[in-house]
Amino acid sequence: MTALDARPDATTTLRFPAGFRWGTATAAYQIEGAAAEDGRTPSIWDTFSRTPGKVRNGDTGDIAADHYHRMHEDVALMRRLGVTDYRFSIAWPRVQPTGRGPAVQKGLDFYRRLVDELRGAGIRPVATLYHWDLPQELEDAGGWPQRETAQRFGEYAGIMAEALGDRVATWTTLNEPWCAAFLGYGSGEHAPGRTSPLASLRAAHHLNMAHGWAAQVLRAELPPSAEVSLTLNLHAVRAHSDSPADLDAARRIDAVGNRIFLDPVFRGRLPEDLVRDTAPVTDWSFVLDGDLDVTSTPIDSLGINYYSPTVVAAGSGAAAPSPWAGAEQHVRFLPAPGPRTAMDWPVDADGLHELLIRLRDDLPGVPLVITENGAAYDDYADPSGEVKDPERVAYLHAHLSAVHRAIADGADVRGYFLWSLLDNFEWAYGYSKRFGIVHVDFATQRRTFKDSARWYASVIERGGLV
């Protein structure tokens, strides 16, 4: 499915291929709440958010969007939108509280109910095993820098495959391992808040191992028709100029931002330039014989999360502590031109097209799915109860147009998952940033379709853009 459906349509000028998957996405800690109910124990994000100064306004995910108790209402919202697919994550400490041993049945039952509700609504469940909520007990034992954490993740994957393998056809092992490794263990901006370049590189390798072991377990446990995937937040890296120094800065960021995952997963090797760049930090002796055979376990598709491009130049401009192990002394990050979202991220849909074309060329034969794309704006319910968000509509239209153009240029893109269904707990920003197409009044938990939700529903209904 690489060619666009060219059938004429009176109201649609950019039609997507037949069978294109139209979805939306969430993450467990950001929406579920019920942080201490039915056997769930703390994750690293529970601990981090309760640490003074780590999250804006001292916000936590204790209640979030209360999805744990409002799941039926939220699935009804998705049905109104007309989405074909819903990408959700499973909270590891809700089903295996210590990261070891047997599952908690009440936790498994919640996800069984969610999946059954989705299927009953005609929505295809897409399960993500890890969206950053590591059980705190595993972090206390060393966390992702330790090999055992990856082994425990493989066991957890087996628990979930046994519980939901008969009703979930698409499985994503990890969401954005770059953030988990480098924001969590390098810069300390995310949980668990550690600041060690060595720990971040060890974490990246063990997340790759966790992905590989989980993929092997899923292959063994699931029916042959099941789809196994991985989601990466790949950086659309641009050099500020064509000077050799600026091009080398872009190469360094590509190595530690992209190829540290792409090469082990799809080529069974570490990037040689990454090993050279990081030699002052580590000799990579924690990579054992056979590891890269595990990391390169074949998968069925690659998920891409994209929000904005990354512009770099030569120089020393990275703040300390930095998430860019091996590059921080050689690279300056520059602002991209153009309008910006409430996150102060540049709006640049061309970056998504560039990324998809790069993957078309670098990973021929690998189907691609946009697993996250969206924008935060300072929207609010007006006195009439309406939530008007024209900036978000414009952002989404531009990025879907870029996806359409990439498909026309030969990229095998199978679907698009809008981030996010609901306003939610936005990690270190707490509740100060709203990405949802459904407005949530956190005081009352009232849900309201924003204009962008109605717009997206019309896109799905017509199968393309006007």
Residues that are catalytic: 176, 372
The residues, ordered by sequence, that sit 6+ positions from 68 with a Cβ below 8 Å of its Cβ are 32, 33, 34, 37, 110
For residue 184, give Cα distances in angstroms to 146, 197, 308, 338.
Answer: 14, 11, 21, 29
Using alpha carbons, list the distances in angstroms from residue 247 to 186, 243, 314, 359, 444.
24, 6, 8, 19, 51
Return the biggest CA–CA distance within the chain. Answer: 63
Task: Name the token pair of 70.
Answer: 């409002």
Buried b / exposed e over 406-419, threshold 16 CB at 10 Å, is: bbeeebbbbbbbbb
- The DSSP string of 404-434 is HHHHHTT--EEEEEEE-SB----GGGTTS--
Instruction: Count CB neighbours of 346 within 10 A.
Output: 18
- Cα(235)–Cα(253) distance, integer angstroms: 8
Give how far the C-alpha of residue 227 lies from the chain's centroid of Cα atoms, to the nearest Å: 17
Whether the Cβ atoms of residue 95 and residue 134 lie closer than 8 Å to each other: no
Q: Which residue, 405, 415, 311, 466, is CA-closest to 85?
A: 415
Q: Which residue has the tokens 């009352």?
A: 444
Distance CA 387, CA 362 (A): 41
Cβ atoms of 436 and 26 within 8 Å: the answer is no
3-state helix, strand, coil in the chain (%, to 5): 40, 15, 45
One-character DSSP codes across 270-337: --HHHHHHTTTT---TTS-TTHHHHHT---SEEEEE-S--EEEEESS---SS-S-TTTTTTEEEEPPS
Q: Which of 50, 43, 143, 138 is nearest to 93 (CA)?
A: 43
